Structure 1
Amino acid sequence: METTEILDFIETFRKTSGWNRVPREKALRRDLSGMEMFDPPLAGTAAANDPSFLLLKSREAVGPQFLLPGEWLPGAGSVVSFFLPFTSRVREANGKSGPEPAPEWLHGRIEGQEFIDRLSRALVEHLREAGGDAVSPAVDPRFASCTGRNTVFRDQNGTPLPVTFTSNWSERHVAFVCGLGTFGLSKGLITSLGVAGRFGSVITSFPLVPDNVVPEDLYGNCTLCGECAAKCPAGAISPEKGKDHVLCSEYLGLMKEKHSPRYGCGKCQTGVPCEKGIPAKRQR
């Protein structure tokens, strides 16, 4: 098994499964029926025992509740992270829709995540059929997230961990370790295909050849231009203070009330220099 085989599986699933298109019965507009949500993927592989995963347990990264690859899958050999960028139709519509998410983006955020989840489960089954073992933490029953100030995690002694807006597996941080990109001011991960898209990952017992280079600079791909801050309708991003997750969450809550069962925003990911690639460094 090689990473290229996994990437080929993801691309075949994207093109042929049918789940990468908005179902007619769910389309918010007639012309959105059958709309493709994602373009071809990007993938990176890290050894399951890469010491950078240990760093994600720090409070400055994900937090002590982060489970290591070997805790998800005993005998883990490798971690594969993948990124699926949104199509130009999804991105451009959201960049032009004003302060609220475009219907195209709402589909990409919700039906798009449903696609990622189906892909993740299919990839796990594919790896098992190939003779290995695998798990995709984000669709595993053990996955847990905290989207507010409530505490849902406990340490090995049962003591509650004071954490907010976090989870026991972070797709963005795992993608960082797998060498797919670096963070931006908006806390999105800027890959070679941009920031506008969705991440997924799988842990497998196969000892795949690592191809990751963990960046030394957490924000190496970000020019700190501040355009994501200017586009944030919640005022949740600033060059001086970074991202305020509470303000962001409150705005998403408003969008969910208005567009339920869908929600989203994505304004910090569209109409910005890092939308579909790594922005050029500004001349000083």
Structure 2
Amino acid sequence: MTNITNHDLTKIINEIYDSLEKNNFSTLGRPDSIMYERPLVGIAAGDDPYYVFLKEHIGEFHWSPEEAFRLKYPGDVDKHNLRVISIVFPQTLETKQSQSRESKCPSREWIVTRGEWEPLMKEFSGKLVEKLDELGIRNVSFDLLPEFKTVKSGKLGIASKWSHRHSAYAAGLGTFGLSEGLITERGKAVRITSFIIEAPLQVTERTYQTHTEWCLYYKDGSCGVCMKRCPVHAISNKGHDKIACEAYEEEFAEKYWPEGLDRGDYILGCGLCQAGIPCQNKRP
């Protein structure tokens, strides 16, 4: 294995972030305005018992880090040498402010940041994979992995073979809120990607004791603003109704798409529950 330190990896990630050509609002005529701020980086062990729990909680279809790594490298793999790199990209304050002013449909800025996330991650992930390959470090980018997809879960309805949010939790970057979004030190209005690399990096400490510790509602019942922000009441004290949420997103896409904004192959995300809330910008 090629030696690389946590500092080295963070420096590489930041340099790639600075070089991104797609991290802007050119679609809205603002090429000098960025979509996402500099990311947070956390590291989890490839043999973390939490990934065993995820198989039990989400389903056997959810990959362990070792299983995902073997999809690209089917030979000998020692899971003890694997590290899961979680990278959290916060939305800008301007995007969050535009979203917080909306009550029925997501703002144009929010629609663009969601719709152009996949092309942005293709650029970011491609550059990071290329750099790690140059260093001789075996790696897997989930956003570039052909087998990465969503599936139907008997327990959870819509689920994925790999959860970026749960990996960020495992990597010490945040805990879950009532809407199932991840509350990080930079707030809940974030998007996440994951990598696995073969390198003995230092694991990020999880400073929390429970998976909902940073949510005020779960902590002492003092919040619940995200419930009020949802236009179809898909968030309640029982959690997040994914079916109702997805149905509303489909309805919005058909009936309320903003005039003058080309839908193209955008994936829509409502996200009203991630702005105009106490955990919008930081851990409350």
Fold shared by both chains (TM-score > 0.5): yes
Deviation at 1:15, TM superposition (A): 2.1
What is residue 17 of structure 1 aligned with on the other side?
20
Deviation at 1:186, TM superposition (A): 0.6
What is residue 204 of structure 1 aligned with on the other side?
197
Is residue 55 from structure 1 mapped to residue 53 from structure 2 by the alignment? yes
Separation in 2, partners of 1:265, 1:275: 15
The farther-off stretch of 2-11 and 192-201 is 2-11
Change in Cα spacing, 1:112 to 1:45, as seen in structure 2 (3 Å) is same
Which amino acid is the alignment partner of residue 6 of structure 2?
Answer: T
Separation in 1, partners of 2:23, 2:147: 26
Which amino acid is the alignment partner of residue 34 of structure 2?
Answer: E
Which amino acid is the alignment partner of residue 234 of structure 1?
Answer: V
Q: Structure 2: give runs of 5+ residues left out of the alignment.
A: 71-76, 218-222, 258-262
The farther-off stretch of 116-125 and 243-252 is 116-125
What is residue 119 of structure 2 aligned with on the other side?
114
Match of residue 140, structure 2, among 108, 112, 135: 135
Alpha-carbon contact 2:121-2:143 (below 8 Å) kept:
no
Deviation at 1:137, TM superposition (A): 1.9
How high is the TM-score relative to the length of structure 2? 0.85
SS of the residue 1:165 aligns to: strand
What is residue 4 of structure 1 aligned with on the other side?
7
1:9-88 equivalence runs, <5 A: 9-23=12-26, 27=27, 29-30=28-29, 32-59=30-57, 62-74=58-70, 75=77, 76=79, 77-88=82-93
Change in Cα spacing, 1:113 to 1:195, as seen in structure 2 (3 Å) is farther
Deviation at 1:162, TM superposition (A): 7.2
Alpha-carbon contact 2:114-2:269 (below 8 Å) kept:
yes
How high is the TM-score relative to the length of structure 1? 0.85
Match of residue 242, structure 1, among 239, 242, 249: 239
SS of the residue 2:130 aligns to: helix
Match of residue 233, structure 1, among 206, 223, 231: 231
Which amino acid is the alignment partner of residue 12 of structure 2?
Answer: F
More helix by share: 2
The farther-off stretch of 88-97 and 118-127 is 118-127
Is residue 219 from structure 1 mapped to residue 212 from structure 2 by the alignment? yes
Separation in 2, partners of 1:162, 1:96: 35
Is residue 173 from structure 1 mapped to residue 129 from structure 2 by the alignment? no
Separation in 1, partners of 2:8, 2:206: 20
Alpha-carbon contact 2:102-2:272 (below 8 Å) kept:
no
SS of the residue 1:58 aligns to: helix
Identity of aligned residues (%): 32
SS of the residue 1:172 aligns to: helix
Alpha-carbon contact 1:37-1:112 (below 8 Å) kept:
no
Which amino acid is the alignment partner of residue 256 of structure 1?
Answer: A
Change in Cα spacing, 1:212 to 1:226, as seen in structure 2 (3 Å) is same
- Measured against aligned partners, the alpha-carbon deviations of 1:124-165 in whole angstroms (never above 9, x if no partner) come to 22112111100012320111203xxx57xxxxxxxxx77621
Match of residue 125, structure 1, among 127, 130, 147: 130
Alpha-carbon contact 2:157-2:242 (below 8 Å) kept:
no
Alpha-carbon contact 1:132-1:205 (below 8 Å) kept:
yes
Alpha-carbon contact 1:256-1:264 (below 8 Å) kept:
no
Q: Structure 1: give runs of 5+ residues left out of the alignment.
A: 152-160, 280-284
Report how many residues are paired.
259
Alpha-carbon contact 2:103-2:229 (below 8 Å) kept:
no
